[in-house]
Amino acid sequence: MPQILVGICSLFFIGTYLFFGFDLLLATKALVYSSAVALLILLLFFRYQTKKNQWLILGATVIFGSLTIVFGDGDFIKWRTTVVNVVIGLSLLGMFYLKKSPAQMLFEKPLEISVPQKEWLRTNIWWAIYMFLMAGLNTIIVLFVPSDDIWMTFKMIINPIMTFILTAGVLVYLSKKSKFYKEQREARNVPQESTDDKG
């Protein structure tokens, strides 16, 4: 449910922009109001199911979106993307040193991927680099390309496509590695548990 609510807020933002005159300020109002409602719902009913990055996204949306509305300046909501990506990138690096991997939490059991911890942790680095790259690209657009349309194209099209490509690449890599380690276990006739080392 938390992820669904975050997605609905994004749909409100994009839909308002596309169907109500390409007005970034109006779209930001729709985003802020829907995000505030989403935050309230999560606080009341899904507090313990909501992840830190979801609180971050909605909280930053309300803060930067409110600044956009108050000052009538769309740059505030644009800077939100940079800030959120940098914070998520730093969080991924922190989780790397804590030996935790979001990719492992998401994909290990549903996709039956069995690889050593070091392979899962490697994906933290890839995603962190990606987040910093997206933050850098967003910053360049905000600073040097004063066009709402170009920024929205980056936000709605380029960013999702690149995210999909990276996700697909990570899953293909992990699937191949899982097959490789499985073949190694079978060749050595070693039980699976003994290969699940911690790095």
Task: Please answer whether residues 75 and 111 qualify as being in contact, where contact means their C-beta atoms are separated by less than 8 angstroms.
Answer: no
Task: Please answer whether residues 2 and 51 qualify as being in contact, where contact means their C-beta atoms are separated by less than 8 angstroms.
Answer: yes
| 3-class DSSP state of 115 | coil
Tokens for 91? 């969080």
The chain-wide mean pLDDT, for the chain, equals 89
CA angle (161 as vertex; 156, 165 as ends), nearest 5? 160
Q: Which residue has the tokens 């930001």?
A: 28
Is pLDDT above 80 for 195? no
- Look at residues 199, 171, 195, 173 and name the one whose alpha carbon lies nearest to residue 184: 195
CA dihedral of 106, 115, 134, 128, whole degrees rounded to 10: 100
The HSE-up count of residue 90 (CA atoms within 13 Å, CB side) is 9
- Res. 56 pLDDT band, cuts 50 70 90: confident
What is the C-alpha separation between 199 and 99, in angstroms, rounded?
9
pTM equals 0.84
pLDDT at 162: 95
**Under 8 Å CB-to-CB from 170, ≥6 apart: which residues?**
103, 123, 126, 127
What percent of the chain is predicted at pLDDT more than 90? 62
Is pLDDT above 80 for 101? yes
- Look at residues 123, 105, 110 and name the one whose alpha carbon lies nearest to residue 174: 123
